[in-house]
């Protein structure tokens, strides 16, 4: 019996042992990016039998079907190529968070927001605090939560720069708190520590590590006594007065302590509250007299301190021989 070409092809196809021929390819490879290793997926070739052609059954393959021509087999017989999807799974990598991405504890963030909201810049670079607005908004609660948060910590476990920042932040927050507790008030000196004591500095203010501390303890027994550069402490702590170096609009931070303190010193010294220039006479803040020892113990040493931070105008006066001719301080509330 003579068989035509089509019949021969059908008989050849029927002789195949299985309707599907799987050609495994299990080669491992490394992608161009990253360190992840992926496995190349198996490729499956499915060849229809004559019965499948006659039945016209629908072949379902996933996820991609392409009709191609298989070598050594008549072009009249289509071959379906199943292409499996290759999924690259990269190993997870742990990334260090950026400083800007780090979230502050809730009491810290709340207090930082209060500073941003209530501090504004006045004449001569003076920072003013809106005590009236803070009182009306009941923000003393947020400030108390912040001082309680700090009081619960142990600064001895911190790096030195962080300790300094901690104590200065605590001092300033306690000072704002005592003003709000007694507001309205014209000067912090009107708030008494006792019948014969001017100001709140000798009042019990906070307990840290089981020890009750006053504002005087924090400034004079801890910050000025325990750390280097006591002169720079005076640019960090604020006594809620116009004559004082500014209460900053942000918290002190150990990571930027040196730069921030230098800038605070520069801002104060080059303001009329720090050094007022009148020809060859300088009227300096009383801080440089009250705490002369921190600035070298003499007027000449204090002038050297001024030179370190002097702007063009003060530098010109100092170069021309200007001398300290007196001291002054304004105790009015910084509002």
* Total number of domains constituting the chain: 2
Are residues 264 and 125 in contact, defined by beta-carbon separation less than 8 angstroms? no
Residues 197 and 59 in one domain: no
Q: What is the CA radius of gyration of the chain?
A: 39
The pLDDT value recorded for residue 152 is 98
Q: Which residue has the higher pLDDT, 94 or 166?
A: 166
What backbone phi and psi angles, to 5 degrees, belong to 322? -65, 145
Quick check: helix, strand or coil at residue 153? coil
The β-bridge partners of 79 are: 68
What backbone phi and psi angles, to 5 degrees, belong to 182? -115, 10
Q: Does a cis peptide bond (omega within 30 degrees of 0) precede residue 212?
A: no
Q: What is the number of residues in the chain? A: 335
pLDDT band at 103 (very low <50, low <70, confident <90, very high): confident
Lowest mean pLDDT among 59-73, 143-157, 209-223, 268-282: 59-73
Residues 117 and 75 in one domain: no
Domain termination residue (choose one: 266, 288, 316): 266
- Residue 219 DSSP label: I
- Tell me how far CA of residue 216 lies from CA of 175, 321, 329, in angstroms: 11, 36, 19
Read off the pLDDT of each residue in 145-174 and give the average, rounded to a whole number: 98
Residues 113 and 215 in one domain: yes
Does residue 37 surpass a pLDDT of 80? no
Whether 314 is in a domain gets the answer no
Residues 53 and 135 in one domain: no
Q: Give the N- to C-terminal CA distance of the chain in Å, as an integer.
A: 115
Domain termination residue (choose one: 266, 297, 313): 266
Read off the pLDDT of each residue in 261-287 and give the average, rounded to a whole number: 98
b/e 217-243 (16+ beta carbons within 10 angstroms → b): bbbeebbbeeeeebbbbbbbbbbbbbb
pLDDT band at 105 (very low <50, low <70, confident <90, very high): very high
The span from the CA of 134 to the CA of 263, in Å, is: 27
Whether 53 is in a domain gets the answer yes
The pLDDT value recorded for residue 98 is 34
Residues 115 and 232 in one domain: yes
Q: Containing domain of residue 70, as a range?
A: 5-83
Residues 111 and 48 in one domain: no
Whether 160 is in a domain gets the answer yes
Residues 116 and 240 in one domain: yes
Domain termination residue (choose one: 244, 266, 288): 266
Whether 121 is in a domain gets the answer yes
Whether 222 is in a domain gets the answer yes
Whether 320 is in a domain gets the answer no
Residues 109 and 79 in one domain: no
Are residues 267 and 125 in contact, defined by beta-carbon separation less than 8 angstroms? yes
The pTM for the full model equals: 0.71
Burial grade of 112 (CB within 10 A; 0-12, 13-18, 19 or more)? middle
Q: Which residue has the higher pLDDT, 178 or 72?
A: 178
**Maximal CA-CA distance, the chain:** 133
Residues 62 and 115 in one domain: no
Residues 252 and 195 in one domain: yes
The β-bridge partners of 46 are: 20, 80
Does residue 299 surpass a pLDDT of 60? yes
The β-bridge partners of 327 are: 284
Are residues 193 and 203 in contact, defined by beta-carbon separation less than 8 angstroms? yes
Whether 290 is in a domain gets the answer no
Residues 144 and 61 in one domain: no
Are residues 270 and 311 in contact, defined by beta-carbon separation less than 8 angstroms? yes
- Residue 46 DSSP label: E
The closest of 213, 226, 247, 16 to 111, measured between CA atoms, is 247
pLDDT band at 204 (very low <50, low <70, confident <90, very high): very high
* Other Cβ atoms within 10 Å of 273 Cβ, number: 24
Residues 109 and 258 in one domain: yes
Whether 46 is in a domain gets the answer yes
Q: Where are the alpha helices (DSSP H) in 103-185?
A: 106-118, 131-136, 140-151, 160-182
Structure tokens at 133: 């607005």
The span from the CA of 81 to the CA of 79, in Å, is: 6
pLDDT band at 308 (very low <50, low <70, confident <90, very high): very high
């Amino acid at each position: 019996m003579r068989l035509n070409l089509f019949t021969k092809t059908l008989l050849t196809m029927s002789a195949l042992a299985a309707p599907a021929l799987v050609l495994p390819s299990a080669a491992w490879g490394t992608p161009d990016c990253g360190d992840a290793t992926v496995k190349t997926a198996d490729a499956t070739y499915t060849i229809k039998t004559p019965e499948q052609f006659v039945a016209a059954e629908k072949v379902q393959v996933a996820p991609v079907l392409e009709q191609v021509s298989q070598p050594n087999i008549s072009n009249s017989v289509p071959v379906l190529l199943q292409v499996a999807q290759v999924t690259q799974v990269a190993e997870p990598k742990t990334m260090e968070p950026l400083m800007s991405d780090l979230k502050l504890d809730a009491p810290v963030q709340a207090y930082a927001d209060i500073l941003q909201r209530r501090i504004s810049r006045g004449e001569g670079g003076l920072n003013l605090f809106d005590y009236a607005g803070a009182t009306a908004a009941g923000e003393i609660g947020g400030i108390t939560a912040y001082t309680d948060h700090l009081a619960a910590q142990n600064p001895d476990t911190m790096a030195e720069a962080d300790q300094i920042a901690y104590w200065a932040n605590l001092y300033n927050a306690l000072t704002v708190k005592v003003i709000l507790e007694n507001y309205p008030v014209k000067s912090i000196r009107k708030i008494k520590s006792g019948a014969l004591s001017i100001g709140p500095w000798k009042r019990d203010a906070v307990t840290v590590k089981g020890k009750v501390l006053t504002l005087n303890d924090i400034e004079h027994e801890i910050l000025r006594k325990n750390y280097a550069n006591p002169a720079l402490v005076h640019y960090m702590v604020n006594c809620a007065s116009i004559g004082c170096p500014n209460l900053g609009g942000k918290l002190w931070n150990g990571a930027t302590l040196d730069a921030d303190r230098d800038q605070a010193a520069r801002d104060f010294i080059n303001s009329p509250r720090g050094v007022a220039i009148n020809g060859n006479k300088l009227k300096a803040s009383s801080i440089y007299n009250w705490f002369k020892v921190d600035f070298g113990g003499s007027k000449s040493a204090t002038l050297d301190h001024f030179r370190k931070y002097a702007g063009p105008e003060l530098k010109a006066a100092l170069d021309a021989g200007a001398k300290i001719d007196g001291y002054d301080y304004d105790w009015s509330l910084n509002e």
